[in-house]
Chain A
Amino acid sequence: MKSTKFTPVPLTKAETDKKWWEIGDFFRRNSLWLLMYCTGCCAIELPPAMTSAYDMERLGMGPMATPRQADILLVSGYLSLKTLRRLIYTYEQMSEPRYVVALGSCPINGGIYHDSHAVINQLDQYIPVDVYVAGCMPNTEAVMNGFVDLMDQIKHKRANGWKKYHENYSWYKANQITSLGEVDVHDEFHE
């Protein structure tokens, strides 16, 4: 009679890590915490998404007040140079893995602010973006769909923006320097 005793198959370090990442990703994608960077008008789509109308909670998502405990950096709308500087600060404070969801057409190509002296045109030149939700502004359905897309990407290991940021760090930094001059924040109210 064949033994029913469980004999573990020896795994290499890489294989074990992969398995743990899969387990981690399973729990992570079902419990995503949003850090909402509500700078632009697309933030008006979040109240219906969070409250009973579309109820973000049923996807296991919730708002988080601090960058270090959050999984998703939600950029809702246009980014001026000033806010981009703070956004990069915030992004670098977040613990990994971290994902970026950008709402609206402004982070994609500048939107209606494409020729402004103060608003950047393309967010993914400065930090990696996992999901774009197009529209000016996007429907709440589209926003929710963007979150579901992100969960799908995490499941299929395609939400690799934070890894890209490590690999191409010098490229991202060079772009930030070109547009911002200096990423450090100096203002009289904090010094």
Chain B
Amino acid sequence: MNSMNNIERVKEIVEKVAKVRKFEQIDKFQIAFEIEKNDVHQTLSALKLAGWKQLSYLSAIDWIETSKFELVYVLFNWDEALYIQIRAMIEREAAEMNSIISIFPGAKYYEREAHEFFGINFPGNPDYHKQLILENWDDIPPLRKDFDPSVYSDRKFPKREYSVDYSVKDPENKSFEKIKEREKRALSLRTGGQKK
């Protein structure tokens, strides 16, 4: 079966259970569906039955201008070369998405990661609020767009201070004159290989 037939088949499966807001074919082996938040669980279980039984990744994108988070579920099939991305928009304020660990138990850690880096809550996952990667984090989640890493770094980590001892092109600098004199002398000595 070639991948074009595959794509048609997946389209049918997804359209049967969810309202597709947008379809995108990224390349020959990757397709993406943008669907409603409430249809995600049905779509994922339908695709799991159809053979896309591994959740490769769950990630989030912070669209700060429109005040939304976009969740991306990447599904992988061991028999057919086609990745499927399921995308869903959720509100940025008090972001919440029902957990999918009943469909893909491995999503447990992806959800914890998304909670840690974006502050999205996943009710249904018993320990989504536990720390996973960051330890003793004391600021807003670091991958939100309104988090400024360099300010945090300046506040938290001592910086090395360097003495300013490099030369500046300063007209009042005496050494600058010396350099010019030396250049002038070098030019005066240059005779093009002929004796003076």
Contact = CB atoms under 8 A, between A and B. Distances in A.
Interface of A: 81-82, 85, 108-110, 114-122, 125, 175, 178-182, 185-188
A62 B130 CA distance: 40
Contacts of B156: 178-179
A179 B160 contact: no
B149 A117 contact: yes
Given A108-B160, A122-B159, A114 B153 contact: yes
Nearest to A115: B150
Nearest to A120: B157
A122 B149 contact: no
B136 A180 contact: yes
B16 to A, nearest CB: 40
B192 to A, nearest CB: 41
Given A109-B160, A179-B156, A116 B136 contact: no
A133 to B, nearest CB: 16
29 contacts: A82-B135, A110-B157, A110-B159, A114-B153, A114-B159, A115-B150, A115-B153, A116-B149, A117-B139, A117-B142, A117-B147, A117-B152, A117-B153, A118-B134, A118-B142, A119-B153, A120-B157, A121-B157, A121-B158, A121-B159, A122-B159, A122-B160, A125-B158, A178-B156, A179-B158, A181-B138, A182-B136, A185-B135, A187-B131
A181 B157 CA distance: 12
B128 to A, nearest CB: 13
Contacts of B133: 82
Interface residues of B, number: 19
A115 B149 contact: yes
Contacts of A180: 136
The B interface, classified by DSSP as helix, strand, loop or mixed, is: loop
B130 to A, nearest CB: 6
Nearest to A82: B135
A147 B161 CA distance: 26
Contact of A122 (B150, B152, B158): B158
A188 B157 contact: no
A56 B139 CA distance: 44
Contacts of B147: 117
Nearest to B160: A109
Contacts of A179: 156-158
A118 B134 CA distance: 8
B162 to A, nearest CB: 8
A69 B79 CA distance: 50
Contact of A116 (B139, B153, B158, B160): B153
- CB-CB nearest 3 A-B residue pairs: A115-B150, A117-B149, A181-B136
Contacts of A181: 136, 138
Nearest to B136: A181
Contacts of B159: 109-110, 114, 121-122
